[in-house]
Amino acid sequence: MFKRFEMNGFVRELYSRIRRKFHITITSLFLLSMASFVVVLGTFTLKLLVSEGSSSCSLKHNRFAPPPMSSPYSYIFSNFGFRSSLPHSPFNSSLESKTLIGAPDHNGTLHSVTDDRELMRRAVVICPNVTESSENLTPKVAFMFLCRGSLPLAPLWEKFFMGNEGLYSIYIHTSPEFVDEPSVTSMFYKRKIPSKPVQWGSATMVDAERRLLANALLDCANERFVLLSEACIPLFNFTTVYNYLINTNQSFIGSFDDPRPTGRGRYNKRMLPKVSLTDWRKGSQWFEVNRKLALNIISDEIYYPLFRNYCNPPCYVDEHYVPTLVNKISPELNTNRSITWVDWSKGGPHPTQYVRKDVSMELLNRIRQGFDCTYNGQTRSICFLFARKFHPITLEPLLRMAPALLGFN
């Protein structure tokens, strides 16, 4: 009996020792596993922090920043509010322009940038020094068509452009719903830019103008920028128009102080103090500008928001914004006249529209040579290079008159 009791005690003692060693082993394994986990987690966290740090450094190194004040266009950034903290990915003009600009002649219309702010940022930085960028490029004139749909007078314009490849660029802003394309042989084929809806009399009209300018500025060879409509026609051959624009440093923007209710009467005092009544100007929507003013217009973040907010019908942004802006910042660069003839003699909200019976040699010659103006400090009789508003039905008589009047083939 005593031996049985002694045996039972031995078994219990052995069981207790085995259990303690088992617990110690399990605890050791658990602690070892936790230590390994902490080491792995620490290594992963360290790598992640290093990766984020290098990424941040890379971003700061490549982030778009205003050019040094020695740049001829540094005034754009200091005066018009473009900042280095723009909410967009950095743009390297030397690398990304190849994907942004798809046309073989460096024309910047073949892209898919639909964000206006990003588009205009790229347009500013792609040619930071226009003199160096374009010194080996033949200067071109950008013809920017702002229209609702097709270009009914395109056959006349094609005769105008024919034989002058490399001296012009074409950009078309149309209704986004309009998807038709002309023949692949047409100069207007695939010249549409990413467009947005435009409402007559609203700021969307100027949005479209700025969009056209930004697209045209992507081509560093473009030195002159003409805004036209689908109802515009050329009054002279291409050589005359090209030489007239390329051989002057001034721009052609109608800008005058109109004391009437349709002028000063549209001014809103809420534009003070940045835009005063003495700054306020009116002019034709159809302008022609050099590259410097084009950059000013698209990079303006000081004055344009005021016009968007406080110039509403019967105030029309397209009649006041550009004339007032140029009067504020660079009046010496403007001739204060438009080179697109428009007949407002009948009054009303829209100019005279010419139809088939109105088109004659007498009418066109009167517009071409019936005025005097100043060009490069001298009096000239050629004051208008384009004219509007011509109905599509005028195409046939215009084509008939073109060879003798305009020197087209």
Task: Categorize the per-residue pLDDT at 404 as very low, low, confident or very high, splitting at 50, 70 and 90.
Answer: confident
Cis upstream peptide for 314 (omega within 30°): yes
**How much of the chain exceeds pLDDT 70, in percent?**
71
Query: What pLDDT is attached to residue 395?
Result: 97
Question: What pLDDT digit, counting tens, does each position of 1-35 carry?
Answer: 444 444 455 545 655 655 555 555 566 666 666 66
Instruction: Dump pLDDT digits (tens) for 312-351.
Output: 999 999 999 999 999 999 999 999 999 999 998 888 778 8
Q: Is the pLDDT of residue 70 over 60?
A: no
Residues 6+ apart with CB under 8 A from 236: 244, 368, 382, 385, 406, 407
Highest mean pLDDT pick, 30-34, 57-61, 341-345, 386-390: 386-390
Give pLDDT, residue 71: 42
Provide the pLDDT confidence category of residue 268 given band limits of 50, 70 and 90: very high
Taking residue 334's Cβ as centre, other Cβ atoms within 10 Å add up to 23
So what's the pLDDT on residue 30? Answer: 64
pLDDT value at residue 38: 57
Q: How far is CA 407 from the centre of its chain?
A: 34
Q: Mean pLDDT lowest for which of 155-169, 308-322, 345-359?
A: 345-359
pLDDT at residue number 4: 45
Q: Which of 44-48, 50-54, 112-116, 174-178 has the lowest mean pLDDT?
A: 50-54
Q: Which residue has the higher pLDDT, 172 or 200?
A: 172
What gap in Å lies between CA 58 and CA 50, rounded to an integer?
A: 12
Instruction: Say if residues 328 and 278 touch (Cβ distance below 8 Å).
Output: no
Whether 216 contacts 171, CB under 8 Å: yes
Q: What are the structure tokens assigned to 314, written together?
A: 């019967």
Instruction: Please give the pLDDT value at position 50.
Output: 40
pLDDT tens digits, one per residue of 207-258: 999 999 999 999 999 999 999 999 999 999 999 999 999 999 999 999 999 9
Answer whether residue 197 shows pLDDT above 70.
Answer: yes
Tokens (6 digits) for 60 = 């700061």
Q: Output 137 or 247, whichever has higher pLDDT.
A: 247
Burial 340-360 (b: 16+ CB within 10 A, else e): bbbeeeeeeeebeebeeeebe
What is the per-residue pLDDT for 99? 39
- Asked if residue 215 lies in contact with residue 142, where contact means CB atoms within 8 angstroms, the answer is no
List, in order, residues 6 or more apart from 213 with CB less than 8 Å away. Answer: 123, 144, 225, 289, 294, 297, 298
pLDDT grade for 145, boundaries at 50, 70 and 90: very high
* CA–CA dist 151, 153 (Å, integer): 5
What's at 351, amino acid-wise?
P
Q: How far is CA 388 from CA 137, 201, 247, in A?
A: 32, 18, 24
Q: Let me know the angle formed at the C-alpha of 212 by 127 and 364, rounded to the nearest 5 degrees.
A: 120
Q: Give the pLDDT confidence score for residue 348 in this predicted structure.
A: 79
Q: Is the pTM of this model over 0.85?
A: no
Q: List the domains of the chain with CATH numbers.
A: 116-338 (3.90.550)
Average pLDDT of the chain to the nearest whole number = 81
> Which candidate, 91, 127, 81, 167, places its Cα nearest to that of 292?
127
Determine the pLDDT at residue 87: 36
What percentage of the chain has pLDDT greater than the value 90? 62
Least confident of 41-45, 112-116, 380-384: 41-45
- Cα atoms found within 13 Å of the Cα of residue 333, Cβ hemisphere only: 19
The pair phi, psi for residue 390, each rounded to 5°, is -105, 125
pLDDT at 384: 97
d(CA 203, CA 205): 5
- 3-class DSSP state of 142: strand
| Segment 286-311, tens digit of pLDDT | 999 999 999 999 999 999 999 999 99
Contacts of 168 (CB under 8 A, 6+ apart): 140, 141, 142, 143, 161, 238, 242
Give the 3-state secondary structure of residue 102: coil
Nearby residues of 392 by Cβ (< 8 Å), 6 or more positions away: 152, 153
Which uninterrupted H or E stretch holds 309?
helix 304-310
Q: Is residue 51 over pLDDT 90?
A: no
Cα–Cα distances in angstroms (integers) from residue 345 to residues 342, 348, 351, in the given order? 9, 9, 8
Between 302 and 78, the more confident residue is 302
Q: What is the pLDDT, as a whole number, of residue 135? A: 62
